[in-house]
Amino acid sequence: MSAVVRRNCSTQGAELLHQPDLLNYFGDKLKEMTEYDTPVLKNIRGALGQVRPLIDTGDRPISPDSVKKVNAITSKLDGEIFTR
């Protein structure tokens, strides 16, 4: 989604990335998966931590720079997941 928002960056489009509750949900689920403590899961947890402050902006809109950073983080992670 971040790639689509980045290509057509607008305040309204960037709001699609404003999903801190979803990040928290996935972060909690990953913490519960201790039996699968693999490097890729560690990297996913780390990426969630990097993305959280970029999208959890409260009432402020997500900036175009934050959209670019989210896209860079998630693209790198996608590449790692798909090469595993």
pLDDT in tens, 12-58: 777 778 888 888 998 898 888 877 778 888 888 899 999 999 989 88
Confirm whether pTM is higher than 0.85. no
CA distance 38 to 27: 15
Instruction: Supply the range of the domain harboring residue 69.
Output: 2-83
Q: Residues 44, 82: contact at Cβ < 8 Å?
A: no
- Bigger pLDDT: 10 vs 51: 51
Phi (first) and psi of residue 22, to 5 degrees: -65, -40
Question: Number of structural domains, the chain?
Answer: 1
- Dihedral of CA atoms 45, 49, 54, 59 in degrees, nearest 10, equals 110
**Per-residue pLDDT for 9 more than 70?**
no
